[in-house]
């Protein structure tokens, strides 16, 4: 399998499952067997993940990537053994860093939930082709990662603009939107992965989905107040009130 297919969530899931270290091996840079240069994608993903690990208090040395050819069996064995020795010296995941097991589990769960958002926000850098090893340490900065999580974007459906077209609900990849016919749609913020799909598919003439950053999301409209009264129906109701039988 091409190393470029190793997703950020795969690595985070391994740590969530209690792995003390994760090692990735790929073809030599600029020697991609599939011409896609996926090993650069893997490198960038690892550089990003290592910074994220620092952000939550994990030692980034628990994650490593090396590039070598299939014919370098002896070198692979040496690299793998060295990594295993290093991880053993770091101690069990979290314990070596002085992080409570449940706290670490919660942090990793929150980060995994944001993986789609992270990839969207860092898409340009993740596609970068680094030329010099000196660039590795500066591709992603600690300040940049801190800001990424500090300014997480949330999405909110404006009840005054929602027409209950149900498009956002159908397109949401995690079914985080309560979309019922003739009712204002509501985003479940606990399920939302911040991917922005709802924002992108909401028809421009409605513009009901808004981005919110740096402030809390308004509380959802109570279920008993979500019913949408269409204009034609509203007119008939007014006529019935004004001209009772």
For residue 53, which phi and psi values (nearest 5 degrees)? -60, -45
Angle between helices 38-55 and 8-16 (to 10 degrees): 40
Decide if domain 154-228 falls under CATH 3.30.70.20.
yes
> What is the tens place of the pLDDT at every residue in 119-164?
999 999 999 998 888 888 899 999 999 999 988 899 999 999 999 9
Query: How is the chain split into domains, by residue range?
Result: 3-150, 154-228
At residue 237, the pLDDT reads 47
Q: How many CB atoms lie within 10 A of CB 7?
A: 14
The strand pair at 63-67 and 22-26 is best described as parallel
At residue 122, the pLDDT reads 94
Across 39-65, b (16+ Cβ under 10 Å) vs e yields bbbbbbbbbbbbbbbebbebbeebbbb
pLDDT in tens, the chain (245 residues): 788 899 999 999 999 999 999 999 988 888 877 778 888 999 999 999 999 999 999 999 999 999 998 889 999 999 999 999 999 999 999 999 999 999 999 999 999 999 999 999 999 999 999 888 888 889 999 999 999 998 889 999 999 999 999 999 999 999 999 999 999 999 999 999 998 999 999 999 999 999 998 788 999 999 999 998 766 544 454 455 556 55
Q: Is-above-0.85 flag for pTM? A: no
C-alpha angle 38-64-28 in degrees, rounded to nearest 5:
40
Nearest Cα neighbor of 15 from 49, 51, 38, 45 is: 49
**Quick check: 192 and 154 in contact, CB under 8 A?**
yes
At residue 130, the pLDDT reads 87
**Quick check: 168 and 185 in contact, CB under 8 A?**
yes
At residue 242, the pLDDT reads 58
3-state secondary structure 20-72: CCEEEEECCCCCCCCCCCHHHHHHHHHHHHHHHHHHCCCCHHHEEEEECCCCC
């Amino acid at each position: 399998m091409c190393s470029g297919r190793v997703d950020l969530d795969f690595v985070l899931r391994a740590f969530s499952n209690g792995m003390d270290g994760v090692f990735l091996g790929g073809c030599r840079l600029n020697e991609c067997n599939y011409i896609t240069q996926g090993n650069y994608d893997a490198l960038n993903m690892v550089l990003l993940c290592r910074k994220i690990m620092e952000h939550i208090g994990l030692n980034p040395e628990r994650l490593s990537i090396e590039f070598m050819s299939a014919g370098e069996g002896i070198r692979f064995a040496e690299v793998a053994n060295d990594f295993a020795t290093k991880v053993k010296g770091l101690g069990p995941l979290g314990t070596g860093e002085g992080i409570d097991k449940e706290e670490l589990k919660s942090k990793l769960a929150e980060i995994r939930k944001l993986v789609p958002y992270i990839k969207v926000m860092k898409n340009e850098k993740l596609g970068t082709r680094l030329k010099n090893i000196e660039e590795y340490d500066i591709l992603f900065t600690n300040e940049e990662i801190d800001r990424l999580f500090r300014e997480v974007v949330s999405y909110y459906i404006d009840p005054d603009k929602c027409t209950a077209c149900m498009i956002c609900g159908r397109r949401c990849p995690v079914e985080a939107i309560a979309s019922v016919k003739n009712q204002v749609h509501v985003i479940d913020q606990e399920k939302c992965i911040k991917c922005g799909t709802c924002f992108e598919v909401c028809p421009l003439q409605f513009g009901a989905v808004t981005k919110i950053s740096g402030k809390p999301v308004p509380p959802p409209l109570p279920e008993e107040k979500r019913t949408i009264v269409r204009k034609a129906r509203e007119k008939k109701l007014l006529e019935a009130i004004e001209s009772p039988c």
